[in-house]
């Protein structure tokens, strides 16, 4: 991994139910340097759960991926990290340990952000995984667990000491979930406190956001999560600004609909068993588009590719009738 963070990097975040092989493909086509898998349960892998193992499937032409594991048992995490490394081989860029997910169903089991409440256990997990895998191990965590109690700096130092080669910091507390603003100062404080690369995460929805996040925090890379939902163009925008070029304009209504259609076709071709996921993607693509409310109601009943294509065509016809196919509506954050 030497040299991976030598220049600004753009990473697609690990998002449950979102970062599948099709979403990763579109992100990388538009400028993401590396995409993460959805977060993968180490416990699920230990049971040889086929649904969990499918999360590790790479797309056609996908040569490198980062895998994020979640769990709190050092031995289980270590064993499954070694299995992932053996299974993916050279396609595995590095492993990441999720210590930032605030979802109740994750935290109540002691996983995700719950590990921030037990730094000693978190450090043992990192040490165990780093000892079992030859690939580098990164850690993703938040500003802190309880709102108002910032613990990320001390936590970051402990993860570095335990063997983490890089750290990703999201600037919200677990208790905030995704409400409020991400505190960039927390990311900057972590960056100043450790010697390993730091990835900044939170509230990046355009190229200017990525550039200002790096400028304000000194982070070595930017991870984009919700800002990429229905918006793979955000990576091209971020890359342009970081390279000193003008930020490309937002996509037109026609471009959004065309991308949504392509996304649906790829889902039907590569992940047919998960095509129902396209409902949420479709809603993200059309956010802010005239006629989106009616379209969203229709998406809720889509089951087959033809259902989605018919819904997109109806939206295109409505936009054309209103003369707004070439408009560039603002995205809703």
pLDDT, tens digit, 9 for 90 and up, residues 271-319: 898 899 999 999 999 998 888 888 889 999 999 999 999 999 999 998 9
Domain ranges of the chain: 9-242, 253-321
Coil, helix or strand at residue 130: helix
Average pLDDT, the chain: 94
Residue 14 annotated as lining a ligand binding site: yes
Is residue 1 scored above 50 in pLDDT? Answer: no
* Statement: residue 147 has pLDDT above 90: yes
Tell me: pLDDT of 143 over 90: yes
Q: Give the active site residues.
A: 101
240 pLDDT more than 50: yes
Residue 143, φ and ψ in degrees, nearest 5: -60, -35
| CA distance readout (Å), 301 to 14, 184, 258, 296, 319 | 27, 40, 20, 9, 21
Q: Is 43 annotated as a binding residue?
A: no
Give the confidence band of 161 by pLDDT, cuts at 50, 70, 90. very high
Q: What is the pLDDT at residue 120? A: 98
Percent of the chain with pLDDT over 70: 97
pLDDT at 2: 44
d(CA 143, CA 145): 7
Instruction: Please report, rounded to a whole number, the percentage of residues in the chain having pLDDT higher than 90.
Output: 85
Instruction: Determine whether the annotation assigns residue 237 to a binding site.
Output: no
How much of the chain is helix, strand and coil, in % rounded to 5? 50, 15, 35
The pTM is what? 0.94
**Is 248 known as a binding-site position?**
no
Question: What is the reported pLDDT for 275?
Answer: 94
Q: Is 140 annotated as a binding residue?
A: yes
Q: Considering the domain 9-242 in this protein, what is its CATH number?
A: 3.20.20.70
Task: Give tens-digit pLDDT for 180-218.
Answer: 999 999 999 999 999 999 999 999 999 999 999 999 999
Could you give the CA distance from residue 274 to residue 21 in angstroms, rounded to a whole number? 11
Range 22-35 average pLDDT: 95
Backbone CA torsion sign across 101, 105, 107, 109: negative
- Torsion angle of the four alpha carbons 260, 140, 152, 74, in this order, in degrees rounded to the nearest 10: 150
Q: Taking 60 as the threshold, does the pLDDT of residue 333 lie above it?
A: no
């Amino acid at each position: 991994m030497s040299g991976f963070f030598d220049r600004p990097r753009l990473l697609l975040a690990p998002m449950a139910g979102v970062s599948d092989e099709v979403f990763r493909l579109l992100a990388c086509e538009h400028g993401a340097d590396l995409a993460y898998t959805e977060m993968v349960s180490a416990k699920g892998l230990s049971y040889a759960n086929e649904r969990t193992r499918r999360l590790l499937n790479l797309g056609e032409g996908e040569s490198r991926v980062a895998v994020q594991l979640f769990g709190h048992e050092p031995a289980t995490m270590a064993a499954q990290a070694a299995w992932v490394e053996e299974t993916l081989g050279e396609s595995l860029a590095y492993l990441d340990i999720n210590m930032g997910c605030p979802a109740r169903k994750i935290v109540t089991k002691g996983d995700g952000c719950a590990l921030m409440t037990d730094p000693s256990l978190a450090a043992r997990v990192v040490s165990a995984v780093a000892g079992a895998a030859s690939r580098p191990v990164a850690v993703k965590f938040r500003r802190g667990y309880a709102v108002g109690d910032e613990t990320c700096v001390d936590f970051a130092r402990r993860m570095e000491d335990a063997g983490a080669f890089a750290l990703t910091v999201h600037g919200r507390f677990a208790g905030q979930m995704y409400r409020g603003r991400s505190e960039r100062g927390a990311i900057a404080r972590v960056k100043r406190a450790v010697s390993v690369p730091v990835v900044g995460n939170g509230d990046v929805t355009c190229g200017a956001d990525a550039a200002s996040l790096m400028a304000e925090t000194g982070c070595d890379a930017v991870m984009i999560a919700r800002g990429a939902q229905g918006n793979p163009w955000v990576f091209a925008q971020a890359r342009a600004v970081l390279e000193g070029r003008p930020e490309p304009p937002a996509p037109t209504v026609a471009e959004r609909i065309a991308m949504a259609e392509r996304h649906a076709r790829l889902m039907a071709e590569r992940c047919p068993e998960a095509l129902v996921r396209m409902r949420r993607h479709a809603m993200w693509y059309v956010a802010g588009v005239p006629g989106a409310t009616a379209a969203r109601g229709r998406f809720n009943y889509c089951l087959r590719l033809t259902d989605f294509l018919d819904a997109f065509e109806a939206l295109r016809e409505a936009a054309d009738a209103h003369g707004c196919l070439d408009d560039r509506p603002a995205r809703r954050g």
